[in-house]
Chains A and B, each alone.
Chain A
Amino acid sequence: MPSIRIDGVTYEVEAGRNLLETCLSLGLDLPYFCWHPAMGSIGACRQCAVVQYLDEESEQAERGRIVMGCMTPVTDGAIFSLSGDKARHFREAIVESLMLNHPHDCPVCAEGGECHLQDMTVMVGHRDRHYRGRKNTHRNQYLGPLIHHEMNRCITCYRCTRYYRDYAGGTDLAALASHDHVYFGRHAEGVLQSEFAGNLVEVCPTGVFTDKTLVEDYTRKWDLQSAPSVCTGCAVGCNTLPGERYGRLKRVHNRFNADVNGYFLCDRGRFGAGFVNSDKRLLYPGLRLADGRYDALHHHGALQHMQQMCRTGKVAGIGSPRASVEANFLLQTLVGANNFAPGFSEQEQPLVDLALALQQDSRAVIPDIRSIESADAVLILGEDVTNTAPRIALALRQSVRNKAYEMAAHLGLETWQDAAIRNLAQDQRSPLYIAAVADTRLADVATRNLSLAPGGVAALGAAVAALISGEEPEDLPPHLREQAGQIAAALSAARRPLLISGTGTGSAAAMQSAAAVTEALCAAGSQAMLCLVVPEANSLGQAMLTGPDAPGLATLRERAESGELDTLVVLENDLYRRGSADSIDRLLQAFSNVIVLDGMDNATTSSASLVLAAASFAETDGTLVSLEGRAQRHYPVFLPPQERHPSWVWLLACMKELERPEVRSLHHFDDITRSCGARIPALAGITAASPDYHYRNVGVKIPRQPPRYSGRTAMRADRSVHERMQPSDEESPLAFTMEGLNRSVPGALLPWVWAPGWNSNQSLHKFQSEVGGPLQGGTAGVRLLQPGNPVSAAGLSVDTVTAPAEPGHWLLVPRQHIFGSDELSALSPAIAELAEPGYIALRSADAAALGVSPGDGVVAGNALATLAVRVDDSLAEGCAAYPAGLAGTENLHPLDRVELRRAENWQRPPEVIGSDGGARLRGARPRGARPRGARPGGGDV
């Protein structure tokens, strides 16, 4: 370890780091702008200047030279000064020059109060402006519904384009013009195209890029009440920090987790929680009357109805892969495992079970996101991760850079030398092979994109597995044989090869073949990784809870029709998204009583006899199991209003009314978690996901409100001028207060980041064990999947699905969409604006054969769907793609073979013309969003 001296104090420091990150890790404040822990150094802004002395003599004489901390490696014996006059004056002058054109608009700036520029300006002591000239001003651009643009505030640190282009692979944001009129924006106004654009909000050190949904419903950071949460947008399980004020969820910020999301979220996660504020949210329980309307109930009344309906003893339950482990566990306990369906669609249930089984049985490493970034050869079989598990796509964009880091290591370049390494590597990348039904958003960094029907994807995977095992694959077309050979060679040569597949294409075979490849690699002694993407935030937890023998929706229907069951309890699940309208109608009609717990007015609540208003993820505790088998706890950011309660509260109260022995000793949320861990072997570890209710930090609870939280009485002054008692949290170590400590708390409990002198999110390093390293309190969550017993590759059967040979018939393949395919995020206004209308995509030759061109209508099967035609020539032959989960696709099933024909009397949808540039069509309605029948809860009393 090198030993360096800073301002007369000697430190032992980690080799290979630069001085800036070393100083920050040591707890020394050194200002910076262009550097970012995830993006390394370029030495552009000159803000982290320090004095370096040649030797002790020159240190004594204060004769040193100015160097940039971010570009200076720590070397043994080096002598620096942060506090030397020369460096202090230099840093102050830099801020003054950066501020030449910066407006004095902090009071109206959305960044104010959490602005890195404010913090750094105060840190360098700059106060008086000497510049008396005119400030440059710019026109701002419309960048879509997510990001607000205010270019005048720019200090040209280049972090935005370094993030957007270099890190996230976006192409439509650039540094334009030169010298004193540099402009960061698009060629023309329009929606930013990257699925990760939202991170600009946190990457920009000032208020150029801010969260538009926050700007439109604004609250300062210091007035936000926050709690550690977990994103419910997909199965990755990114850690989030939602902020609340006045009972509204105002924004979602990234919550650092070194192993999962690191510093970045996707836009579905950041902007997809707006549904919490939706006016479709239910406030009261309701009972359906004979005339079809709902009668709002007090919770006592609702519980009485519920327990009476459940008293028959012939009760079935349908859980939800988007609800917590605890709520699902309680419902399973209420109805019994034999009567409990996990709540997947008929197609999805075996796929998720398979994904779990393959990972449980695999001796491959089940990677977290950080491990995915470390992969040096990747094969994706079928899954379009940008749209099903977006954060993985961002990680894969980093994984292809491992080649560059390898080249840099040869030259002795440190990994933080960002500009040098990019120059060195140019477009040389680690291998990334993608076999999918059509080109995906990762196509630009892929070594090879192979368009194959799901059956072909699986066959390719099986062939690669065979080749790695030294066998010759059978029945493979010559061009695929060659590709398989290259892929097998690349994976075999890699030190950390990674296989990715998942449920997104509806094909079991792709996942089986991915497991077969990792098995072959492991057999050859490689540390292979296997990542299988499942659809929802708790899909894997649900499979762990129910096991492969759980009944499906059809089984429950049959048993209800035979009179074996008469009451159905549905937990947070809009069943109309899980099957065709006909099949769900039949299912619900088979039961005399249908009780639905949900937070949202949807098609299923509209068909219920009794609706119980359920809290959202932001209003309740819950444990979710991510795709890597990581159990993570989320906490209520605020308490639900009126008679809306967490599902687990409803279910526990009902079971208490029924005097069920299983719940006699359950009183708190933690009791349910413990009971679940004790009764379900696969979930045995979940109690370790976070500290229990009794945890105290230096004797007190952890505050959800920052110390400067203001107006606690004033914000209610229109109704009462008395200080209301703060609600107490009986379920967690967090409190609805500003009193308490937020330092050195477990990683799972960190409700906000803020440190003296560091008001922005850049204060994070004060909570990390070292810059970029895990949180001081440990990484949130616990891994439930342990490496299991190897299965033999031969034992993995790979079912192949081939494209239809019949002319006029196509194989239907689902395409997932980050904006629109997920139920709840699609109900958030900003995401809904980006969701596209339904379509059927065809190759241009197929479209021509049908006599249709883009925008024409096409009918699938026997009037299963009538949708607009899109042309995509990257589609595999014989396939027609449709967007999963979007309006108009309810009756289309993955991998069905359907006839297609031109739709007569088709009316083209209205289109946006010319001047709107990149603006997209609006008005896409997410599936299931159409209200059916009277609105329960809210109004009809």
Chain B
Amino acid sequence: MSGQMETTLIPVLSPEEIAEIDAEISHVPYRSAVAIDALKIVQAHRGWVSDESLRAIARHLEMSAEELEGVATFYNLIFRRPVGDNVILLCNSISCWIKGCENLQAKITEQLGINLGETTPDNQFTLLPVTCLGACDKAPVMMVGDALHENVDAETLTKLFREGGE
């Protein structure tokens, strides 16, 4: 019974995910060396890394779930909880702070109704803080999905949210 239970409870990595992870493994001496890449690959496919996914990756890399969990939870851009379709990474580092990122955050909260770490009910946006996006000369900055937005102001936000993050 438990054997069957286990096989149905354990999600397998998709063939695409395995292929991408194995491609990374081919470049390194130990399977566990690709831990971060494997987490990123699965996150790219599934949006986040669930407990089940994490265990499946750990098994594939022949490491313990604890070892991989230590890596996964160390990086705040590996999402161990579900996120919305678009993740807003709002920089709160020094340049952006000088240039008023706190106001921006208040605006986002006002427009989307979410605080840091929260997701909109329609699952469109998740708001997270980030420490520096490497564009201090164009502060305040934020990322939405893969796109970097520079010199962000209230108008940028309104336009962006109207377009649904595109």
Contact = CB atoms under 8 A, between A and B. Distances in A.
For the complex of A and B, 5 pairs with smallest distance between CB atoms: A171-B64, A187-B65, A174-B66, A174-B70, A177-B73
A911 B66 contact: no
Nearest to B3: A854
Interface in A895-913: 908, 911-913
A855 interface: yes
Contacts of A173: 66
A914 B9 CA distance: 8
A32 B41 CA distance: 42
B85 interface: no
B132 to A, nearest CB: 15
A183 B51 CA distance: 17
A188 interface: yes
Given A855-B3, A908-B1, A177 B66 contact: no
Contact of B69 (A176, A853, A854): A176
Nearest to B75: A178
Contact of A914 (B5, B64, B70): B5
B14 interface: no
Considering residues B1, B51, B67, B70, which has the most beta carbons from chain A within 10 angstroms of its beta carbon? B70
Nearest to A173: B66
A911 to B, nearest CB: 5
Contacts of A188: 51, 65
A175 B68 CA distance: 10
B70 A855 contact: no
B64 A172 contact: yes
A893 B85 CA distance: 63
Contacts of A171: 63-64, 66-67
A908 B9 CA distance: 21
A817 interface: no
Given A171-B63, A187-B64, A913-B5, 11 more contacts: A171-B66, A171-B67, A172-B66, A174-B69, A176-B69, A176-B74, A177-B73, A855-B1, A855-B3, A913-B2, A914-B5
A6 B70 CA distance: 41
B128 interface: no
What's the dominant secondary structure at chain B's contact region? helix
B6 to A, nearest CB: 9
A186 B67 CA distance: 9
Given A174-B69, A174-B70, A175-B70, A855 B2 contact: yes
Contacts, number: 50
A856 B1 CA distance: 10
B54 interface: yes
Contacts of B9: 914
B54 A187 contact: yes
B40 interface: no
A172 B65 CA distance: 7
A183 B70 CA distance: 9
A417 B54 CA distance: 33
B5 A176 contact: no
A176 B76 CA distance: 12
Contacts of B70: 174-176
Contacts of A853: 3
Contacts of A855: 1-3
B49 to A, nearest CB: 12
A853 B1 CA distance: 11
B74 A177 contact: yes
A176 B69 CA distance: 7
Interface residues of A, number: 20
Nearest to B2: A911
A265 B42 CA distance: 41
Contacts of A908: 1
A187 B1 contact: no
**Interface secondary structure of A, over-half rule:** loop
B153 to A, nearest CB: 30
Interface string A844-866: 00000000011100000000000
Contacts of A177: 73-74
15 contacts: A172-B65, A174-B67, A176-B66, A176-B73, A178-B73, A178-B75, A183-B73, A187-B68, A853-B3, A908-B1, A911-B1, A911-B2, A912-B2, A913-B5, A914-B9
Interface in B89-119: none
Interface in B47-83: 51, 54-55, 63-70, 73-76
B40 to A, nearest CB: 17
Interface in B1-28: 1-3, 5, 9
Interface in A817-838: none
A178 B66 CA distance: 14
A178 B74 CA distance: 5
A578 to B, nearest CB: 35
A914 to B, nearest CB: 6
A177 B72 CA distance: 8
B8 to A, nearest CB: 10
B66 to A, nearest CB: 4
A178 B77 CA distance: 12
Contacts of B55: 187
Nearest to B74: A178
Contacts of B1: 855, 908, 911
Contacts of B73: 176-178, 183
Q: Which residue, of B9, B54, B69, has the highest number of chain A Cβ atoms within 10 A?
A: B69
B94 to A, nearest CB: 17
B69 A187 contact: yes
Contacts of B3: 853-855
Contacts of A912: 2
Contact of B66 (A187, A913, A914): A187
A575 to B, nearest CB: 37
A174 B54 CA distance: 15
A173 B66 CA distance: 6
A853 to B, nearest CB: 7
Most buried by A among B2, B9, B63: B2
Contacts of B63: 171
A397 B54 CA distance: 28
B128 to A, nearest CB: 15
Interface in A908-940: 908, 911-914
A786 B151 CA distance: 82
Nearest to B54: A187
Contacts of B2: 855, 911-913
A769 B63 CA distance: 41
Contacts of A854: 3
Contacts of B69: 174, 176, 187
Contacts of B67: 171, 174
A912 B6 CA distance: 11
A154 B119 CA distance: 31
Contacts of A183: 73
A563 to B, nearest CB: 56
B59 to A, nearest CB: 12
Contacts of A186: 66
Nearest to B65: A187
A855 B67 CA distance: 30
A472 to B, nearest CB: 37
A914 B3 CA distance: 11
Contacts of A176: 66, 69-70, 73-74
Nearest to A183: B73
Nearest to A912: B2
Interface string A170-196: 011111111000010011100000000
A445 to B, nearest CB: 15
A453 to B, nearest CB: 27
Contacts of B5: 913-914
Interface in A867-913: 908, 911-913
A914 B7 CA distance: 11
Contacts of B68: 187
A912 B5 CA distance: 11
Nearest to B76: A178
Nearest to B68: A187
B103 to A, nearest CB: 24
A162 to B, nearest CB: 13
Contacts of B54: 187
